[in-house]
Amino acid sequence: MNLNSPEIKSCVQALKDIDFELAYLALLACEGLKPLSRWEKPLDGEGLLLLQQLGLEARQIHRTVKTGKDVVETIFGREPGYVQIYEQRFGGRPVDKSAETQRFEGYLFGYPPCCIEQYIAKPYTPNGLPTDDQEILFHWACRDCTITPTILPAYRSLNDLASKL
């Protein structure tokens, strides 16, 4: 996908008009840096169409929280299989923060396994990353991660692109 094409830039700009994080997550998914992305808000038909125009499979997933309130998540990625797996596993079910769920979601969202395990054992353990680097990730990096430093340049580049549009 040519991220510099006027059509792609237009879609990303329209997503950014909805929410910067949504546009940034879409870019990460388009480039395959995240097999699956979750925007924890509903998205109207126009927003879903914009994601589809970027070549992403997108769905609304209804879940519940402990209070019984219904929440809608927008799930999207390049591979329909990831979206289907998420929908089958979590659609219509309560939000769950168990270790098993965190491992499964971490896998689907492309988080480094070492970071997932550290987060489960002790969330938000200081990791030595500069704050501006940690802020552009969607996972909490573990202190000795060897994967996060290799993906950070690509994340920075897409974050910068989203910021400039």
How many domains, the chain? 1
Is 115 within a domain?
Answer: yes
The domain of 118 spans: 6-164
Mean pLDDT to the nearest integer, 134-160: 96
Is 89 within a domain?
Answer: yes
Residue 32 and residue 132: Cα distance in Å, rounded? 22
pTM of the predicted model, to two decimals?
A: 0.94
Residue 3 has pLDDT above 80, yes or no: no
Is 54 within a domain?
Answer: yes
Tokens read off for 138: 């969607």
Mean pLDDT to the nearest integer, 102-129: 96
Q: What would the pLDDT profile of 49-76 be if each residue is shown by its tens digit?
A: 999 999 999 999 999 998 889 999 999 9
- What is the per-residue pLDDT for 13? 96
| β-sheet bridge partners, residue 73 | 61
Residue 139 and residue 57: Cα distance in Å, rounded? 22
Is 1 within a domain?
Answer: no
Burial 12-36 (b: 16+ CB within 10 A, else e): bebbbebeebbbbbbbbbbbebbbb
Is 40 within a domain?
Answer: yes
